[in-house]
Amino acid sequence: RETSAGRNDETFDPLDARFVRFAIHDSNRHPTLGLIEPCVDEFEIFTAEEKPRNVALASLGAKVTASGSRASDLHRLEHINDGRYGNSRSWMSDEAGRGWVLFELPEKVRIGKIVWGRDREGKFADRLPTAYTLEAGPALEAMTRVVFIPPLRPAVSPRQTTDRFEPVVARRVRFSISSCTSLAPCLDELEVFTAGSEPRNIALVSAGTKASASGTLPVAPIHRLEHINDGLYGNSRSWISHEEGRGWIELEFAQSQNIDRVVWSRDREGKFTDRLPVDYRIEIRDDSGAWHIVASSLDRRKYVPDDKPPAQLITAGLKPDEATLAGQLLAEKKTVEAEIASLAAGQMVFAGSFSKPEVTHLLSRGDPEQPRETVLPAVLSALGSLELPAEAPEQARRVALASWIASADNPLTARVMVNRIWQGHFGIGLVDTASDFGRNGSLPSHPELLDWLAREFIHAGWSIKRLHRTILLSSTFRQSNRIDRRALALDADNRLLWRFPARRLEAETIRDSMLAVSGRLSLKMGGPGFDMFKSRGGLNGFPPVESFSGEGLRRMIYSHKVRMERESVFGAFDCPDAGQSTPLRRQSTTPIQALNLLNSRFTIDQAAAFAARVESETGPDAPVAGRIRRAYRLGFGRDPEPDEIREAADVVVEHGLQTLCRALFNSNEFLFVP
């Protein structure tokens, strides 16, 4: 029977129930979107009394759960039993064409009718459940099916259509066509299979089966009756009826057979879709001579050319044990597909294919048109003695170079690495020309220390973590940054490290620290970066993003770099523009830095978030002094001094906590490594 978008009354023999399940197996198609999520505006369960009562209402204590919900302001699970009708107070499943809701009543009650609707106001008819099962019972383990509307089978297909039915003994099978898509109907093959674990096609003429028909188109030699069961597919080996839109084929077996399936097609090769039968019935004749219909097109969807409905498993109509097995297999299939997807989504790399290296020549005066003697693959003789034969493949050359670079016998790599890490902690390396250790570079300030750290780095298995620990636990790193006038007179640049060199944080660290203190920093790792600009060039130029959310709250290392274009706020803090390699960032102090950090939308947003975090963590009744202490602990990692509390309290009372948070972001204590 057909369901209504308005009101559907389901009446059944009364039974005691505390649980009611409405399982949707299918829904109607949206005219443009196809199969989408079904929707129900209200579900009512009525008692089997002289004056029936709706006991499904949430106000009466009924609880409802669902397979899933696509939630919005209009569609929520709690709307399904709130006593109000219409699309604006409805529940929507989160799965196309299916879903379920389960009601648990406060107590067991005798029920006899269920009423539900898609949109009781009659404005919407899409998302309508068309196939479903209603079950009720006193416990989940004792449910009784009270209503079952089976789903329609898929539409017929020009390439292959299968009709299954309960096994039946038959001597003859008739395929009768009452309409087709165009002209006279056409079939390239009609197959009938025996029931059992080893099915056989007994329709073949080679098996002794005889074919007859209502009539055959007489003028086309490729369309003959004997083609209907010759085991060959395609339009060139097919049968066409002599009558437009109608016709029948009958197969008579050599003896009675136990059959359960008929398979037919218009053109198994997929070249033709015209003349396709769409209205038909399949009948069998038993030994008594009586004809019985075993399948027809009445329970199929309407055929729509080029329609590709999503593949889905429909268990409705199966026996309980078959449905259970199908569900288990489907769950196993999803698990395997998820494992395959996780394996396929591995770390992506840019890679290339290896080819045989070309011969390299010494060029006269650098002219590629004047090649001279052959040059073997090797490192510079001033740096080592590594040399490979000319026929060495590309892979061997790369491995040899990498092994030489990371060799314990090659001190240059370790010295450069150690110097870079030292530079990261102290602002300047032991060799202040970090990218030049040659004659044009500077001499190390502490050559013995550089060599010792390089040896320790190699002996520790090139462990960067251990090198960091060694530097950070040293007395040099842990010393005060106070100035000694005598030392200042002797070493104004602090190259001998007589005090810790105070310096401003890098641009990225300032931004990340502001996000961390405000509580908005996203620690998500990997994946695509985020944009600092609304667009990249073109007519719009590079308009900056002012307010960030979502991916834009990740660490700045994940921001997309735009060459020759500085970020609007933190570009002023000597953040390289990615236009060229920068071995050491310069440290400058400009008015633009102060203006950006005080007035930018980013600072204002983070100050507001910082203040909200402080208020949330201290509670609504916290005193001003308590909030100031929390702000200092988050921003500076220390408690404020009494005079700082007094000065900050005046600011908070007059201008609000957000202003104090903004001032903390702009303080030297926040911006500088002490």
pLDDT digits (tens, 9 = 90+) for 386-398: 899 988 998 899 9
pLDDT in tens, 524-536: 998 888 888 887 6
Q: How confident is the model at residue 312 (pLDDT cuts 50, 70, 90)?
A: low
Residue 360 burial (CB count, 10 A) = 12
Q: Residue 280 CB: number of other CB atoms within 10 A?
A: 23
User: Residue 426 in contact with residue 502, Cβ under 8 Å?
Assistant: no
Angular region, 276: left φ>0, alpha ψ -120 to 50, beta rest = beta
CA distances from 476 to 408, 426, 481, 505, 652 (A): 27, 10, 10, 19, 40
Note the pLDDT of residue 59: 95
Helix (H) or strand (E) holding 644: helix 642-655
pLDDT at position 107 is 95
Strands (E), 98-182: 99-117, 129-137, 144-149, 161-180
Q: Which residues contact 185 (CB under 8 A, 6 or more apart)?
A: 177, 240, 241, 245, 246, 247, 275, 276, 277
Q: How far apart are the first and last CA of the chain?
A: 80
Whether the per-residue pLDDT at 610 is higher than 80: the answer is yes
Residue-level pLDDT at 353: 75
- Chain position carrying tokens 């060694």: 470
How many Å apart are CA 322 and CA 60, to the nearest integer?
Answer: 38
Total Cβ atoms within 10 A of residue 343 = 8
Distance (Å, whole) CA 146 – CA 148: 7
* pLDDT at residue 306, rounded to an integer: 76
Tens-place pLDDT, residues 394-418: 889 999 999 999 888 888 899 999 9
**Cα–chain-centroid distance for residue 121?**
37
Residue 180 is encoded by which pair of tokens?
């087709």
Which of the four pLDDT bands, split at 50, 70 and 90, describes residue 315? low
Indicate left, alpha or beta for 527 from its phi (over 0: left) and psi (-120 to 50: alpha).
Answer: left
Query: For residue 80, what is the DSSP state?
Result: G
Task: Provide the pLDDT for residue 634.
Answer: 95
Can you say whether the dihedral through the CA atoms of 435, 437, 442, 446 is positive or negative? positive
CB 514, CB 609: distance < 8 Å: no
Q: What pLDDT band is residue 601 in, cutting at 50, 70 and 90?
A: very high
pLDDT for residue 319: 64
- Average pLDDT (48-61) is 95
452 φ, ψ (degrees, to nearest 5): -65, -45
Tokens 């070249």, located at residue:
271
The confidence score (pLDDT) of residue 254 equals 92
Q: CA 201, CA 215: separation in Å to the nearest integer? A: 24
- Contact (CB, 8 A) for 670 and 515: no
Dihedrals φ, ψ of 196, to 5°? Answer: 120, 180
E-assigned strand segments in 365-470: 371-374
Asked if pLDDT for residue 314 goes beyond 70, the answer is: no
State residue 117's pLDDT score.
96
DSSP result, 118-136: S-TTSS--SS-EEEEEEEE
- For the chain, the average pLDDT equals 90
Q: For the ranges 88-92, 158-162, 208-212, 480-484, which has the lowest average pLDDT?
A: 480-484
Q: 29-33, 60-64, 503-507, 632-636: which range is least confident on average?
A: 29-33
Share of the chain above pLDDT 90, in %: 66
Higher-pLDDT residue of 353 and 523 is: 523
**Average pLDDT of span 303-307:** 81
Give the pLDDT score at 317. Answer: 53
Average pLDDT over residues 43-49: 96
The letter for the amino acid at 338 is A
User: What is the reported pLDDT for 343?
Assistant: 81
How do residues 429-475 score in pLDDT, each as one tens digit? 999 999 888 888 899 999 999 999 999 999 999 999 999 999 999 99
The pTM assigned to this predicted structure is 0.47
The rounded distance, in Å, linking the Cα atoms of 399 and 110 is: 80
Structure confidence by residue, pLDDT tens digits, 279-288? 999 999 987 8
Alpha helices in 147-234 (DSSP H): none
Between 657-665 and 507-518, two packed helices, what is the crossing angle to 10 degrees? 150
Buried b (16+ CB within 10 A) or exposed e, 404-423: beeeeebeebbbbbbbebbb
3-state secondary structure of 488: helix
Is 70 exceeded by the pLDDT of residue 537? Answer: no
Decide if pLDDT at 232 tops 90.
yes
Please report the pLDDT score of residue 607 as a whole number: 95
469 C-beta neighbours (distance < 10 Å), count: 12
Amino acid letter at 20? V
Q: How confident is the model at residue 83, as a pLDDT? A: 95
Q: Judge whether 146 and 109 are in contact, CB under 8 Å.
A: no
pLDDT (0 to 100) of residue 89:
95
Query: Which amino acid is it at 536?
Result: R
State whether residue 216 is helix, strand or coil. coil
Q: If we measure between CA atoms, which residue out of 172, 241, 246, 238 comes closest to residue 211?
A: 172
For the segment 461-517, what is each residue's pLDDT rounded down to a tens digit? 999 999 999 999 999 999 998 999 999 999 999 999 999 988 888 889 999 999 999
pLDDT of residue 382: 82
With pLDDT > 70 as the criterion, what percentage of the chain qualifies? 97
- What is the per-residue pLDDT across 611-621, written as a single tens digit (0 to 9) for each? 999 999 999 88
Comparing CA positions, the residue from 280, 260, 92 lying closest to residue 168 is 260
> Coil, helix or strand for 367?
coil
Q: Is the Cα torsion angle 536, 540, 542, 546 positive or negative in sign?
A: negative
Rounded to a whole number of angstroms, the CA Rg of the chain reads 40
Res 156 pLDDT > 60: yes
